[in-house]
Amino acid sequence: MSPTPEITDSHCHLDFPDFEGQLDEIVTRATEAGVTRMVTICTRLRNEPAVRSIAEAHAPVFYAAGTHPMSAAEEPMATIDELVALTKHPKFVGIGETGLDYHYTAESADVQQQSLRIHIEAAQRTGLPLIIHARAADDDMARILAEEYRNAPYSCVMHCFSSSAELAHAALELGFYLSMSGIAAFPKSQELRDIFATAPVDRILVETDAPYLAPPPYRGKRNEPAYTAHTARKGAEVFGMDYAEFAARTQANFDRLFAKAATYRAAA
């Protein structure tokens, strides 16, 4: 019997109340499904100590932190020094999530853009990848990412990508990565799958965004890192690859982008 292919849940939220008191079981189910690494994301910097403690308590878990765009107007503005200081932790592997969300919080667009540029500069200074949330803000997102890249290069993943083909192209042109979530596995998401199919397979990551966006057959239920495997199987179909080959490609992609996590794993 061949071993279960290894994959990484590149974006989840293990500090959310949905998982309270269950993290040992959640992590165990993930590893049994072949999900050998998880990046849990802090969306409000005041919660960073709690998110850090999850990464410290669970060997397969790494973490990132930033101010979510939907919270940008409610939270103190992050500083570059504050974000850079967090990167000293050995399991801190990315900046964000940050970005723009005009679907729910268009009224704070100016604050979101200011916050985004601060996070980009932290990524530029540290060399850690930027983790982007983009919704209903494609033009501003493409413009700001390109403007800042011209100032100084940086690496980036468009987390839970479900935006336009134009934003996908703009991100890929900058050398960025697109991450497939459970949305890509929804039956009515063929247009999104077609966008992914035009991307180089060496720029694709997989994620859950757990506890949200569970892929079939768990749609409508609480998502968890183990379910990354279901999205990855759909991804293999999109790229016309067998599952083991697609899993291996996404692992290599994650290691390339999140090099600090890959190095930590090798040294552990």
58 is in an annotated binding site: no
φ, ψ for residue 14, nearest 5 deg: -75, -10
Q: Answer yes or no: are the C-beta atoms of 170 and 142 closer than 8 Å.
A: yes
H/E run at residue 41: strand 35-42
133 is in an annotated binding site: yes
Find out whether the peptide bond into 211 is cis, omega within 30 degrees of 0.
yes
103 is in an annotated binding site: no
119 is in an annotated binding site: no
Angle at which helix 243-257 crosses helix 259-267, to 10 degrees, equals 100
Residue 173 contacts by C-beta under 8 Å, 6 or more apart in sequence? none
Query: Where on the phi/psi map is residue 236: left (φ > 0), alpha (ψ -120 to 50), or beta?
Result: alpha
CA gap 52, 129 in Å, rounded: 18
Q: Which residue, among 122, 115, 120, has the nearest Cα to 145 in the 3D structure?
A: 120
Which residue ranges make up the annotated binding site for a divalent metal cation?
11, 13, 97, 133, 159, 209
Annotated binding site: 11, 13, 97, 133, 159, 209
